[in-house]
Amino acid sequence: VFVLTILAFVTYWNHCSHVEQPVNPSVLWVGELLRIDQWWGMFSPNVPSLDQWFMVPALNRKGELVDAWPLNDNSFLPKAFPTEQFTYERWLKYMTNISDEEFADLRELFARYLCMKWNRAHSTSNRIVLLDIVANERVLNDFSLRGTPHPPYQPYPLYSFLCDASVDNDPFINQYIQ
């Protein structure tokens, strides 16, 4: 009886979180006491519908256009799999965050990091002077999942940054570059 009661309660709790309805305050304490006060909506009610890939077009001192994103191959084309663009999931989370307006203040730090990392690894003539952080996005709808072609990517410029000499001596960024 106890197990069936708890199962019914968990079902009720999940239903409330799924339809975004508050749990009845008279039974809220039960969920908190038993630590089943959770929300199980990672992909519910819908799977993620935004597909993104990132590029960082940069202009070097020679006037050449290069991609300053370390894992891109200068083709400015999306990778076949998202895992090819990120060395591990924290980069994916970071890039997803900076594409959100709530975390817009992280964009300059990321741009400084990329300038510094690139310029340390390249000769003076290949140093970058200007870069843009661009998120390429497309919204996947139900039709694109059923065999119809995906819509094209739309570029969404996030940040433009002028790489100058002050970037090379930034103590905050320095600590993150080996």
pLDDT of the chain, 178 residues: tens digit per residue = 888 988 888 888 878 877 778 888 888 888 888 887 766 556 555 666 778 888 899 998 888 999 898 767 767 777 777 677 787 888 888 888 998 999 999 999 999 999 988 988 998 888 899 999 999 888 876 654 566 677 788 999 999 999 876 655 655 555 555 4
**Crossing angle for the helix pair 106-121 and 89-98, to the nearest 10 degrees:** 130
Asked if 136 and 52 count as a contact pair (C-beta separation under 8 A), the reply is yes
**Quick check: helix, strand or coil at residue 131?**
strand
Token pair, residue 51, equals 């597909």
State residue 172 phi and psi, 5-degree precision: -65, -45
The dihedral sign for the CA sequence 20, 25, 29, 30: negative
Token pair, residue 2, equals 């106890």
Residue 61: Cβ-neighbour burial (10 angstroms; 0-12, 13-18, 19+): middle
Asked if 48 and 41 count as a contact pair (C-beta separation under 8 A), the reply is no
Asked if 114 and 56 count as a contact pair (C-beta separation under 8 A), the reply is yes
Token pair, residue 70, equals 């370390």
Those residues whose C-beta lies under 8 Å from the C-beta of residue 120, and which sit 6 or more positions away, are: 168, 177
Q: Is the bond into 45 cis (omega within 30 degrees of 0)? A: yes
